[in-house]
Structure 1
Amino acid sequence: MISGLGDTDVSVEGCTVNVCMRSCITDYSVNFQAVVASTITNSQPNFAIDIDGWAIPSNIQLADPAFNRPQRVDLLIGASLFYGLLCYDAHSIDGSAKGSESSNDQADASLNELVRRFWEVESCEYVATRLSREQKDCEEHCRKNVIRLPSGEYSVTLPMKSSVLVFLNLKRKLQRHPDLRMQYSSCIEEYLKLNHMSRVPAEPIERCKYFLPHHCVLKADSTTTKLRVVFDGSAATSTGYSLNEVMMAGPVIQDKLMHILLRFRTYLVALTGDICKMYRCVRMASADSYYQCILWRDSPDKELQIFKLDTVTYGTKAASFLSVRAMHQLAHDEAGSFPVGSVALKNEFYVDDFISEGDSVAEVKVKLQETAAILARANFKLRKWCSSHAEVLSEIADDEKESYMRFSDGSEITKTLGLAWDPSSDRLLFSLSFLEAGSKPCRRSVLATIARFYDPLGLLGPVMTKSKIFLQQLCKDKLTWDESLPLQRYTAWVEMCSSFNSISSLSFPRAILAAGCRVEVHGFCDASEEAYGA
């Protein structure tokens, strides 16, 4: 029975029909099942509406030209079909007709933050770093609690804000595909083999203080790890708190990637590398490892088992700070034995990426040897070596070399367009996945597409400026996040997406200075009503 139609109860049994609904104007069609009722509601609207003052565009066809006069309602369509009817040719009339607004204020706030970050990527403004009280406390906590183990590795403790409440929200993402489950199980098994995880026996199970939900992330462009298990330290408990909420984050203690890349372009010989499983190279203090408990079983017919993660864990708030801070501590402890390598640890790493350079092959080879050797003292392993000069890597095994270096800011946003370096030609280029406008572009999808572009050096300034101006225009149109683009904007967006695909043919020389050249700095700037550049 269905109640509420025509103030009656309508029986569903024996009163349904299959309907194929087609647009009179476009090629839109949809099939659905409808219930036959004697009446739906009174004529709608209840009274005639005066539309003389409405600025309805003359170049569009209305689905119902007489929409303002009372008429019989022949068909009541469910909400599940409503948004499919709002095709790209949607219009707002004097701001009175708007698309659907998201009820999730937190999601909109996140989008606004993304817009802010997107505009700041190219900012070169120097801001003196002033640590917050929490960041100072986090640094002091790490300084007091970092311990060098007999193996050479470092052990750290979690920088908690206060006592942590028991984690009661247990969940684990089940894998539906056999091949995915096999890869997932292999990752967990690797944790056990590398002694990065240990099983919690039944006796001390009461020591478990937090259980981390986990899921997998697939990276098709990775040359080493296609599947990565990610642990969610932000999952809220039944108390409303998460592990990350009661943990200090710590300050950023590495140079900005743009500064590192600028240095990378000013020397003749370039060298890059990558630390294998960087976070997991730093051990977690035994007591704090019980804040990193997980549930796992290899197959559904086995009982769930409890494990604890014994290393710094990706997905926890302080993971990046703790691992980088351990590297800086290593640079301090081993500076006497490796003077060149210790400087490289502090100045030429962006998270786990080693981005270095020098004036000669001999200089860079020394840097390679010392950096690898000092990291080995704490069981960090450098791999994925790339160099603009093959002789730099003459003593490196082929399986430790990489033919391609892709830069990333480490954010959780998947980058469609990423800055990359081809060491064989010693040129910077952009690896670009195929972009398409989408069936129903809106302000949200436009932002999601544009924000995937990653160009910290501003090499694609003309392209990025044009796309940012387009996004500004959508904001000035006062379109909501999910409102379909007007026809004119839609056409411009389709053309812009088509032009994006030509970016992959562009390349730029990495080295911009010749040896012994005289350097002068000149400033240029220009501005228009829509943008400025310097």
Structure 2
Amino acid sequence: MGITDEIRESHLPTASLFTGTGKKKYPSKKFSHTRDNDKGAQRSFITEKLAEKLKLKPNGSDTISLAYFGGKSEQYRHIPTGRVFLHVQHREIIPLDVLIVPTIAVPLPNLQRNVKCLKYIEGLKLAHRITDIDDDFEISLLIGADYFWQIVQNKVVRGNGPTAVKSKLGYLLSGPLPEVKNASSVSYMFNVVTAPPNATDLERFWKLESMGILEDDTEKSTSGILNEYKENCITYKDGRYVAKLPWKEDHSVLPTNYEICKKRTENTIKRLSIETDILKNYGQIIEDQLKRGFIEKCDTNVTTSNPVHLIPHHYVKKDSNTTPIRIVYDCSCKSRDQPSLNDCLMSTPPELNDLIGILIRFRMNKYAIATDIEKAFLNITLDENDRDVTRFLWLSDPSNPNSELTTYRFRAVLFGATSSPFILCATILKHLELNNDKKASKYLRQDLDVDNVISSFQQEEQLLHFYTESRELMSSAGFNLRSWSSNSKMLQKQAINDSVIDNAQTPKILGMKWDTNSDVLLYPVRNIPNTQIVTKREILQHTSRIYDPLGLLNQVTIRAKLLLQELWQQKFEWDMPLPDSIQEKWRSLITDLNSVTKTTFPRYYFENT
């Protein structure tokens, strides 16, 4: 059972952060203590933005399991690690081993002004100076239980409000704030629980070997919902499909969310105004969506009988030359005791094709292709009655950060709603079913994975016919098949002429890579270092990064899984140096794993027949 003590802090004037190569003052935004009875769950985080300012270079990576409040599953993440040094009072330096992540949390409000009148904290040197500024702040550094108690000290001051706890940074405030009349009632909960995969995951760890063999009961339970939705909630109009949002029965009343959305949008703009290039790109993305009919401006003076709800948004950086940022719409934003948009929508999983079957069919025939649907979600029109719950605010003049806010709303299915993957899946399936007389429909139906298609054909004429027919078929629904890759020179030439060729030399194929010139499949290169001290965490970290859906590397990867099973059975701690005998086994495995992941193999099963 985890316990979280949350400390709202926005500035740490007494602390400095620096790396081993140099020192740089930088105020952290918030400390949150997360304690769990599993040592693997005690982790600290730093954002990529702060790490970049500190010129922090990763010194490795860790595999952790992330579980979300109310979630029914875990996600495994491989996160780079680094070390920073916290310079506190009395010239003490505390080294912090941190996980480097793009974002720790959405911006949070600064509520410190509410404690200004509390007599019992007068005279205390707070870690966070009291001001009247109400700006939201981003969390740049999150200190977990691994270092929290090195900072917190014994003295506690209590009163009619938050408790003041002495620390090496100054007094930290934690607990309920005094109630303020006429204050907006917004509740924020922030809790991070991380852990390496535990012993209960061992069965799932081995189940990868059964992919495509064991029957999935999930499909049976959701097929009825899918068929009902296709029949009643999707229509075809003016060359595009129109979809309704799949609302939960008897869901709570959705609030407008205007105040919290306005506040968060203003803070997003304030951050963007510092980085003018990103502000310009942000505005261009919204302008492009407006021109393409994905969004539209709202006349707020016109009353509507439909529910109205506003969604805040922010950006995340992408490792891409063409699209350096992506705008993220927070459909989970909520106020106290009121639901978010995602709370009111069904979260039925989409009906996906079997991954192993797709890969096997991809290797069955002489000529192969790979393509994907451009902006798949945005090419499905959102039903008129549901559009007002997707409103958002943006600058009337994107070149002027001080211009007034304008209200927009989505005309298309937005990426960020919990039901969007389900809507996309249902829409494509309905379109293919309505056109099942076309050969391309059959191939698309069986070889589609969300918005990616990979398939193969024995004759080059069949391949070229599929290229033409599939593009026409999907275009009739408003979808554009782009980024075509093939080992066929004729198809490559045609795709170049149609400006839909994928220029990557080795395009990604469901986690693997495909060299279309030599027609071979290969694995992403992941060289495992031979370290002096080996731990269970390190072994799991490296072995779980090898993605082998077809099981072609099983002769080696199963040995790694057997070694991990042995470590779990002997109950070794995550960061305890392992016995010499096990370290020798692992070093032998490193050589084989590094060698086997450089293996290439023919994409076509029968190339020599």
Query: Which letter maps to 2:409?
Result: K
**Separation (CA, whole Å) in 1 of partners of 2:536 and 2:276:** 38
Candidates 435, 440, 450, aligned match of 1:351:
450
Alpha carbons 1:118, 1:451 under 8 Å: kept: no
**TM-score normalized by structure 1?**
0.66
1:141 maps onto 2:225 in alignment = no
1:505 maps onto 2:592 in alignment = no
**TM-score normalized by structure 2?**
0.59
Alpha carbons 2:534, 2:583 under 8 Å: kept: no
Q: How does 1:41-120 map to 2 (within 5 A)?
A: 79=147, 82=150, 107-108=194-195, 118-120=205-207
Tell me: CA distance 1:361–1:135, structure 2 relative to 1, closer, same or farther (3 Å): closer
Tell me: CA distance 1:184–1:503, structure 2 relative to 1, closer, same or farther (3 Å): farther
Alpha carbons 1:208, 1:293 under 8 Å: kept: no
1:355: Cα distance to partner?
A: 0.7
Aligned to 1:309: 410
Query: Which letter maps to 2:336?
Result: S
More deviation, 443-452/154-163: 443-452
Residues 214-268 of structure 1, C-alpha deviation per residue, up to 9 Å, x if partnerless? 3334442x58644332333334442363322332233543312221001111111
Aligned to 1:404: 506
Q: How does 1:172-187 map to 2 (within 5 A)?
A: 172=265, 173=268, 174-175=271-272, 177-187=275-285
Aligned to 1:378: 477
Residues 361-385 of structure 1, C-alpha deviation per residue, up to 9 Å, x if partnerless? 0111111111111011111111111
**Separation (CA, whole Å) in 1 of partners of 2:347 and 2:411:** 19
Candidates 412, 415, 424, aligned match of 1:323:
424
Instruction: Percent identity, please.
Output: 24
Aligned to 1:68: none
Candidates 247, 255, 272, aligned match of 1:160:
247
Query: Which letter maps to 2:553?
Result: L
Query: Which letter maps to 2:245?
Result: L
Aligned to 1:427: 520
Candidates 288, 296, 312, aligned match of 1:190:
288
More deviation, 179-188/357-366: 179-188
Query: Which letter maps to 2:575?
Result: S
Query: Which letter maps to 1:166?
Result: P
Query: Which letter maps to 2:606?
Result: L
More deviation, 391-400/129-138: 129-138
**Separation (CA, whole Å) in 1 of partners of 2:570 and 2:276:** 48
- The DSSP-based 3-state class of the residue aligned with 1:431 is coil
Tell me: CA distance 1:313–1:455, structure 2 relative to 1, closer, same or farther (3 Å): farther
Tell me: CA distance 1:507–1:149, structure 2 relative to 1, closer, same or farther (3 Å): same
Candidates 367, 375, 392, aligned match of 2:491:
392
Residues 94-131 of structure 1, C-alpha deviation per residue, up to 9 Å, x if partnerless? xxxxxxxxx96854599889876554333232316465
Query: Which letter maps to 2:356?
Result: M
**Separation (CA, whole Å) in 1 of partners of 2:421 and 2:332:** 15
1:317: Cα distance to partner?
A: 1.8
Alpha carbons 1:155, 1:283 under 8 Å: kept: yes
1:296: Cα distance to partner?
A: 2.5
Query: Which letter maps to 2:240?
Result: E
Residues 49-95 of structure 1, C-alpha deviation per residue, up to 9 Å, x if partnerless? xxxxxxxxxxxxxxxxxxxxxxxxxxxxx945849xxxxxxxxxxxx
**Separation (CA, whole Å) in 1 of partners of 2:335 and 2:352:** 32
**Separation (CA, whole Å) in 2 of partners of 1:469 and 1:421:** 30
More deviation, 245-254/370-379: 245-254
Query: Which letter maps to 2:507?
Result: M
Query: Which letter maps to 2:577?
Result: P
Candidates 346, 352, 363, aligned match of 1:265:
363
- The DSSP-based 3-state class of the residue aligned with 2:209 is coil
| Structure 2 gap segments, 5+ residues each | 1-82, 92-145, 152-189
More deviation, 193-202/159-168: 159-168
Cα RMSD, aligned residues only: 3.9
Alpha carbons 1:420, 1:428 under 8 Å: kept: yes
Aligned to 1:214: 313
1:469: Cα distance to partner?
A: 3.7
Aligned to 2:24: none
Q: Which has the higher strand share?
A: 2
Alpha carbons 1:254, 1:347 under 8 Å: kept: no
Query: Which letter maps to 2:214?
Result: Y
- The DSSP-based 3-state class of the residue aligned with 2:227 is helix
Alpha carbons 1:139, 1:251 under 8 Å: kept: no
**Separation (CA, whole Å) in 2 of partners of 1:106 and 1:31:** 23
Alpha carbons 2:372, 2:481 under 8 Å: kept: yes
Aligned to 2:49: none
Tell me: CA distance 1:438–1:226, structure 2 relative to 1, closer, same or farther (3 Å): farther
Query: Which letter maps to 1:352?
Result: D
